[in-house]
């Protein structure tokens, strides 16, 4: 093994990261749940038609649109915000892993982790392209 004691700090970081992941999922699930209750109260009686793909309206497929919808208390946007938080949770995990490798001054893995993070952010922010 080339580094003096990477395992110990790796493990400590993973503990923190594990907690963060749990917290992220919990917060996301709560937001989704609140939105879902509102959605069912407002549209519970509407018939569903999902056998043909229409694609979501603009307000539900961009981050700005979702935030705007949440501001005006739209139930579907609140659910979508929760889902967005959920998608962001593993991305936050990669960001924390990057910090850990930075602290360890592990240049190879800083580069590897930064590449993964860049790819994920590209998907989340510019997915339409």
Kindly identify the residues of this chain, within the stretch 66-125, that bind other proteins according to CB under 8 A: 75-77, 79-80, 82-84, 86-91, 93-94, 97, 108-109, 112-113, 115-116, 119-120, 122-125
CA dist 122 and 113 (Å) reads 14
- The tally of CA atoms less than 13 A away on the side-chain side of residue 59 is 12
- For other proteins, the closer of residues 87 and 102 by Cβ is 87
**Burial of residue 49, with CB atoms counted within 10 A of its CB: 0-12 exposed, 13-18 middle, 19 or more buried:** exposed
* Rounded Cα distance, 40 and 51, in Å: 20
- Residue that is written with structure tokens 């917290």 in the block: 23
Q: Using CB under 8 A, which residues numbered 17 to 36 contact other proteins?
A: 17-19, 21-22, 24-25, 28-29, 32-33, 35-36
Rounded to a whole number of angstroms, the minimum distance from the CB of residue 87 to other proteins is: 5
Q: Considering the complex, state which of residue 43 and residue 68 has its C-beta at the smaller distance from other proteins.
A: 43
With contacts defined by CB under 8 A, how many residues of the chain interact with other proteins? 74
Quick check: 50 binds other proteins (CB under 8 A)? Answer: yes
């Amino acid at each position: 093994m080339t580094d003096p004691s990477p395992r110990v700090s790796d493990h400590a970081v993973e503990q923190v990261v594990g907690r963060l992941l749990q917290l992220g999922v919990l917060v996301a699930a709560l937001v989704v749940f609140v939105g879902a209750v509102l959605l069912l109260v407002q549209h519970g009686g509407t018939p569903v038609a999902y056998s043909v793909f229409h694609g979501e309206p603009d307000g539900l497929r961009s981050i700005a649109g979702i935030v705007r919808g949440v501001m005006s208390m739209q139930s579907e946007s609140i659910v979508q915000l929760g889902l967005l938080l959920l998608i962001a949770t593993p991305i936050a995990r990669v960001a924390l892993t990057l910090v850990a490798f930075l602290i360890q001054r592990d240049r190879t893995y800083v580069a590897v982790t930064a590449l993964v993070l860049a790819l994920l952010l590209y998907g989340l922010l510019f997915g339409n392209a």
